[in-house]
Amino acid sequence: MNLPRLSVILPNYNHARFLPNCLEALLQQSVQPLEIIVIDDASTDNSVEIIETFANKHPLIRFYRNERNQGVVSGMNRGLELARGDYVYYAAADDQVLPGFFEKSLRLLSEHPQAALCCAIGDWREMETGFNWHVGVGMSEQPCYLSTAQMVELERRDRLFIASHTAIMRKNATVEAGGFIAELKWHCDWFAIYVAAFRYGICFVPEPLALFNIHVSSFYKARDKQAHREVLRRMLSLLTGPGYQDAATPIGESGALFLFGWPMLKLMLSRPAYRRFITPTFLRKNLWHSLKLELKKITPRFVANWYFHLAGYKARPVKP
């Protein structure tokens, strides 16, 4: 079977210490991508030296270097424009793909070309605290295609989670979603992924196929509240506008916007047009999510890890 062509896009800024492991893991996949597009955003460490060393050894690496720092969203969109593959995967230098990731995802996508993307169980690890849990557990016991209706039902039952670090995205569906909208800043990838997914459905592989390494000091860093509120306001404005109604309806029915917590609920209450997203499902999920975040701050590590296992946040071992 001929598999779809995959472009890997790796934005980088001052992640020299992570690059060797990241690039080695990408290059050692059982199915090689068409290309690995590395975009360095004017790093001041020795990232360029490392990237050039790999590029000289591996012709599939295409290296682009910004003379001045332009930000990660700019790099993501530039990579999308440069990509020659049918599908794109956004790698992060400090994360790591696991063996079989590309092969298993692309084979499933070749069987379901209508899907917007393929994702897998995501392995999340807090580097400083040792917290470790899986996201996406319980979506399906077998590799499958999930329709929009099935996604809505899974989200309502708290079983849908599209781990972005495992998402291999159909390029044209990503472009149709608007690419990565700069005004949405930190949430631009969530928006592109969920809009595309709720338009076309997704494929899912029920295995942990990529590691997401969380650096607590940066991942949970408090954002400027006003700036964050404006980002969420822009998201709601887009979802209530004419260009995204086909995706906004199932997103609203599913309650998926719960992830943005209290700030999102407050904004929804501020305008009649936004209140369509306030459903019983959204309220339940939003309140429970907000409570869990507060409890996590005071919970000992061993108790939290025990809870993750008990509550089903760990995948079963994959049978050979």
**Two tokens at 125?**
């690890």
Residue 257 CA to residue 146 CA, distance in Å, equals 19
CA-wise closest residue to 274 among 311, 240, 304, 303: 240
Average pLDDT, the chain: 91
Q: How confident is the model at residue 294 (pLDDT cuts 50, 70, 90)?
A: low
Residue 131 CA to residue 140 CA, distance in Å, equals 24
Residue 197 CA to residue 289 CA, distance in Å, equals 22
- Summarize pLDDT for 143-201 with one digit per residue, the tens: 999 999 999 999 999 999 999 999 999 999 999 999 999 999 999 999 999 999 999 99
Residue 62 CA to residue 51 CA, distance in Å, equals 10
Distances (CA, A) of 188 to 76, 184, 221, 238: 10, 5, 18, 12
- Cβ proximity of 285 and 293 under 8 Å: no
**Hey, where are the domains in the chain?**
6-219, 225-310
- Summarize pLDDT for 118-131 with one digit per residue, the tens: 999 999 888 777 77
Half-sphere exposure of 156 (CA within 13 A, CB side): 13
Q: Please, which residues have CB within 8 angstroms of residue 312's CB and are 6 or more apart in sequence?
A: 137, 138
- Summarize pLDDT for 202-220 with one digit per residue, the tens: 999 999 999 998 875 554 4
3-class secondary-structure state, position 104: helix
Is pLDDT above 70 for 221? no
Q: How confident is the model at residue 289 (pLDDT cuts 50, 70, 90)?
A: confident
CA angle centred on 167, ends 165 and 169, rounded to 5°:
140
- Match domain 6-219 to its CATH number in 3.30.450.40, 3.40.50.880, 3.40.190.10, 3.90.550.10: 3.90.550.10
Q: How confident is the model at residue 319 (pLDDT cuts 50, 70, 90)?
A: very low
Q: How confident is the model at residue 229 (pLDDT cuts 50, 70, 90)?
A: very high
Is pLDDT above 60 for 303? yes
